[in-house]
Amino acid sequence: MLEIKGVKKSYGEFQLDCSLNVEKGRITGLVGENGAGKSTLFKAMLGLISYDGGEIKIMGKTPEQLGEKDKEELGVVLAEAGFSGYLKGKDVEAVLARLYPRFEAEKFHLMCDRYQIPLNKFIKEYSTGTKAKLNLIIALTHQAEFLMMDVNWCNKIACI
């Protein structure tokens, strides 16, 4: 599912050098201090930043080769990303339904209800933990083949 071979990225004095293999059906976590490069690696895996060397393959393809259909197979939660605060939770549902052919509206509603996500409230009014829960629900409700979660906020949410 994920193959990382000698991926390198430099920012000033920061140096990332990582190799990792995650097979289908495996759960793997990256643990490290702030600034260790975990988020940098996630961004490189998604093609959001370039990297200086090495190779990344997700589901057999490099980030640049991932097409629209491939991206529908990814469930992604990034620590510094989310929907605009000027949307309401119910607006997110409409966006997801258009983005993902396999979006599960009923599951979305059940999870939002279970974890007390107020769908008629603006996201900018959500607490940090509620935003985190919404982002996780989003990743889990479109039948993704591969989940990638940069969750440095995991102490703020209960296990879903």
**What CATH number is attached to the domain comprising 30?**
3.40.50.300
User: Does residue 124 sit in the same domain as residue 160?
Assistant: yes
Domain boundary among 51, 66, 81: 66
Distance CA 150, CA 28 (A): 12
**pTM summary value:** 0.73
Please write the tens of the pLDDT for every residue from 5-45: 999 999 889 999 999 999 988 888 887 788 888 888 888 99
Report yes or no: 7 and 41 within 8 Å, Cβ to Cβ.
Answer: yes
Instruction: Give the chain's domain count.
Output: 2
User: Does residue 147 sit in the same domain as residue 123?
Assistant: yes
User: Does residue 61 sit in the same domain as residue 3?
Assistant: yes
Distance CA 125, CA 131 (A): 9
User: Does residue 10 sit in the same domain as residue 52?
Assistant: yes
User: Does residue 61 sit in the same domain as residue 94?
Assistant: no
Compare 145 and 81 and report the one with higher pLDDT. Answer: 145
Whole-number pLDDT of residue 73: 86
Q: Poorest-confidence range of 44-58, 128-142, 144-158?
A: 144-158
Please write the tens of the pLDDT for every residue from 49-75: 999 999 999 999 999 999 888 888 888
User: Does residue 117 sit in the same domain as residue 152?
Assistant: yes
Beta bridge partners of 55: 5
Mean pLDDT value across residues 134-144: 88
Tell me, rounded to whole angstroms, the distance of Cα 4 from its chain centroid.
17
Is the pLDDT reported for residue 154 higher than 80?
no
Q: How many C-beta atoms lie closer than 10 Å to residue 83's C-beta?
A: 17
For residue 43, give its domain range. Answer: 1-66
Question: Confidence band (pLDDT; 50, 70, 90) for 80?
Answer: low
Compare 152 and 122 and report the one with higher pLDDT. Answer: 122
